[in-house]
Amino acid sequence: MDTEAELSDSWWERVKYYARLAIECVENGVDAVKELLSTLTSDERCGVMLEFEDLDPDKFAQLVTDAPQWTEWMG
């Protein structure tokens, strides 16, 4: 068994799950997305935002419009 591959798969599944949650959070406002991201590691936050943009470009554009400082949340 390749443990590293399994860890990578579980990390990516977690990122995809949180990306879907972030998309739903947009309806509740920027602070809801920011709060969700604050519970994740910096790697997870970056992965979530990349997946978010791929899954729903329109909502991602809405987030960027509503919170142009979103990149500051990545640190």
What is the model's pLDDT at position 74?
85
Sorted by sequence, the CB contacts under 8 Å of residue 62 that are 6+ apart come out as: 26
Q: CA–CA distance from 43 to each of 8, 21, 59, 64 (Å)? A: 12, 17, 21, 19
Comparing CA positions, the residue from 28, 18, 30 lying closest to residue 67 is 30
What is the model's pLDDT at position 34?
95
Instruction: Output the tens digit of pLDDT for each of the chain's 75 residues.
Output: 455 555 577 889 999 999 999 999 999 999 999 999 999 999 999 999 999 999 999 999 999 999 999 999 887
What is the model's pLDDT at position 1?
46
This prediction has a pTM of: 0.84
Count Cβ neighbours within 10 Å for each residue of 33-56 and write b for 16 or more, e otherwise: bbebbeebeeebbebbbebbeeeb
